[in-house]
Structures are given as C-alpha cells and as structure tokens.
Amino acid sequence: MADEQAERPKIGDVGRAIAWILFICVVVALLYPAIPSSRHIHGRRDSCANNIKQIGLALNAYHDQYHCFPPAYIADSDGKPMHSWRVILLPFFEEAGLKTLYEQYDFSEPWNGPHNSKLAVEFSIYCCPSADEAPFSTNYVAVVGEETVWPGTRGMLLGNVTDGKSKTISVVEVANSGIHWMEPRDLTFAEAQRGINIPGVKPGISSNHAGGAQFLFCDGSVHFLSDKIPAETLRALLTAEGGEMVEIPD
C-alpha cells in the first residue's frame, strides 16, 4: 500500500500540469487568429508585386513595338502635361476591354476633359490590394527627371540605360498618392530619392506594406526594397546613366 501511494502523482504536480496545459491552450488560441491574418497580408503584398509585374510586361511589350518606353506624359503646345503613360500603356495589357478603352480615349482633349472623364474606370492593376484609396487612384508611379528612365516627353531606349536594366528602377509604389491613374502626374527625381516610408514626407515613395515598398526595374523584375536602404543606394538605382556601381540590397 505504501508503494502504491508513493507511485501516485502528488496533487500539486497534477495541478501544475493542468495549469501548463491551460496556459498553452490560451497562447495557441491567441496566436491562431494571427496566422491567417499574416497569410492574408503576405498574399496582398504578393498581389501588389504581381500588379507591378504586369506593368513591367506591358512596358516591355511597348518597347518591343516602338523601340523605346512610352514618354512619362504627352504635353500640349504650351508644355503642359495632358496624357499619362498609364493611358498610353492600356493596349499592352492582357486585360479584356482596355484596348477598347484606349481606342475611345480622345488625345485632343486633356485627360480630365468632358469626354475622357467619362472613360474613367476602376483599374485594379494600377492599385495595390492593400490600399484604401480614393476611386480611380493609382499606387504605381514613374520617377520623372532627366536622370531617370522617364525624362519627360521623350521615350527612353533601353539601350541608353547604361547603369544596367536590372539595376535601374522604372516604377515605384506610392501609398495614398492622390493621383488619378489617368492623370499625367508622377514623382520627381528629387521627391523619390528622399527615401521609403519616411514619416511626414509626402509625396514620396511609400506603401501599405510594413518594412518597405515594391519597385519595378527596367528588366521587368520586381523587388521589395527595405525602407532602411541607404539614400545613396536608392539614388543610384533611380538613375539611368549615373555610372554608379551598385547592387540591389537583399
């Protein structure tokens, strides 16, 4: 009888074991909702990368046909921007109906003229899935300037991107840009090189993704660059003919 009592677990040990089991159950219950949420967040980031990848494919298709990228904008006789590269690119997407939309667009009036205003549609490829934007806004913009692959009203030849197609940024992500996707407005070179997700700095490169933003490069590749990227590295990646020796950060 004494031996049997010695082998029985003590009440205190059982209580501690039950307490640990309950503790583990509570932790698992608290963490479980975060698992699908994390997957959802990464899924939206992947969808964003796919959007910008589609833009890259359309840009390269345009280059194949015209032997240069589209101009950042088409200007009127006074030099005022009238039409965006995002409109010019419409026929080069695979999405049904965009070629028809392009054919209906009137290049003789501004993008927001009486006729063209009626053509505005919600265009998912130009909007990040994580964004909470105003209707028709875009999250994907060019970086415009003589130093970049978007020098203004002239199209850039890929052969002139002497810094290397795989090391030169073409399109960047901007959260809450306030830019209608048909509007001929983007980021300037000075605005873009300020950094990524800099608090209080607007306009600038930014995203709804924690830790960085999506970037399209001239070779069609998409990279998620950290907002900790050194300013000099970001600047070098934005120039087309700067002559800098730079590697894309992991």
Q: Tens of pLDDT along 132-189?
A: 777 899 999 999 999 999 999 999 999 999 999 999 999 999 999 999 999 999 999 9
Q: Which amino acid is at 181?
A: W
- Give the β-pairing of 169-173 and 73-75: unpaired
In a domain, 25, yes or no: no
The number of distinct structural domains making up the chain is: 1
In a domain, 14, yes or no: no
In a domain, 226, yes or no: yes
CA dihedral over 85, 87, 90, 95, signed as positive or negative: positive
Structural domain that includes position 193 = 33-238
With CA atoms as reference, report the closest residue to 222 among 42, 86, 46, 41. 46
Grouping H, G, I as helix, E, B as strand and the rest as coil, residue 30 is helix
In a domain, 16, yes or no: no
| 164: alpha, beta or left? (left if phi > 0; alpha if psi -120 to 50) | left
The pLDDT of residue 130 is 84
In a domain, 112, yes or no: yes
In a domain, 4, yes or no: no
In a domain, 12, yes or no: no
Q: How many CB atoms lie within 10 A of CB 101?
A: 16
> What whole-number distance in Å separates Cα of residue 194 and Cα of residue 17?
56
